Amino acid sequence: MPVERPASSLRLKIDREALAHNWRTLDRMSGSARAGAAVKADCYGLGVDACLPTLRAAGAQLFFVAHWGEVDRVAHHVPSDQIAVLHGPLTAGDAAYARARKVLPIINSLAQSKLWIESGGGPCHLMLDTGINRLGISPHETGDPLIAQLEVIGLISHLACADEDSAMNARQLDTFRALLPAIPHQFASLANSAGIALGSGYHFDVTRPGLALYGGVPRAELAGEIRQVATPEAAIIQTRQLSAGDKVGYNATFTAPAAMRIGVASIGYADGLLRSWGGKGAFLLRGDMRLPLLGKVSMDMVVVDLSQAPEVAEGDWVQIPYHLPDAAQISGLSQYELLTVLGQRLKSP
């Protein structure tokens, strides 16, 4: 007889109602612009299969990935002509794949423009560098004959400091506005999640929220508007009693000050709970009782203080507090990192 695989001692709860709420909120805040959705990096670590159906049902119709290898999983849920690939084509094979799948590449350079045109051309998006100095053609390249041959659907740029009150935001906005008339296009897009919060002047035709979809709050204007989406949970796999003076974990960085009860939770840095949490954070029991972390985080486990939770037994579940702004303060990680470092074991059934 076949034996059923045991259930995991890790799980990642995705609040799909919160995810849909966040997209609708960001779409509303985009005013007359329509919101797309950045779904790169496996929907910022939360899982394409878990998030894409919800985003599409909420109303999203334009999806952004970074790598060509991300296209197939996204196209399983949405029409391929709604997918844009941020890194653009580097080889003739990339261009052929884009054309065969009807995926739109984002052209980022004159070299990519030449490659796309010589391989057959067709609809594409074009990235303008307005000051971040990553991807995109420079302002002085907008008049190049190669650019004139592109069939540009979306004219796109990216803000460097939208999460700050920086003069660079206005400079990039002015540069983008000045460049728009130089290149025929169907829509213009500048704002990411934080850019949406900067106001209507940054919205243009399409906004590209990412972090805030998944619970991130990159600007104060979004606080109270964006809901937490992800909650990692781990099972307690052992409880034990310590005596005063006993040590906990690698390098014995915690010493029990008195007799105390502890639990070993089945999560570690291989799952995205990085060592920066060690000795500072706390897990939650039933959503409100704090269970402080003791000692260093190991690859697959971490120790918690059960002194105030004598009822906790092996097999019980604890929650990792993942309200992203608060978790960033505790861990020292950015809200982006907190999402994208989540390990595959949390998402395995």
Q: What is the mean pLDDT of the chain?
A: 96
User: Is position 122 within any domain?
Assistant: yes
User: Is position 344 within any domain?
Assistant: no
Residue 250 annotated to the active site: yes
Q: Are residues 292 and 213 in the same domain?
A: no
Q: Are residues 218 and 239 in the same domain?
A: no
3-state secondary structure of 293: strand
Average pLDDT over residues 56-68: 98
Q: Are residues 270 and 216 in the same domain?
A: no
pLDDT tens digit sequence for 246-267: 999 999 999 999 999 999 999 9
User: Is position 334 within any domain?
Assistant: no
Q: What pLDDT does 280 receive? A: 86
- Backbone angles phi and psi of 9, in degrees to 5: -95, 15
Q: How many domains does the chain have?
A: 2
Q: Are residues 272 and 137 in the same domain?
A: no
pLDDT for 40 beyond 60: yes
User: Is position 61 within any domain?
Assistant: yes
Q: Are residues 312 and 179 in the same domain?
A: no
Q: Are residues 310 and 201 in the same domain?
A: no
pLDDT for 349 beyond 60: no
Query: Exactly one of 40, 202, 214, 296 is catalytic; which is it?
Result: 40
Residue 13 annotated to the active site: no
Q: Are residues 209 and 288 in the same domain?
A: no
Q: Are residues 284 and 183 in the same domain?
A: no
pLDDT tens digit sequence for 133-176: 999 999 999 999 999 999 999 999 999 999 999 999 999 999 99
Q: Which domain holds residue 86?
A: 15-222
pTM of the model: 0.95
Query: Exactly one of 202, 250, 269, 322 is catalytic; which is it?
Result: 250
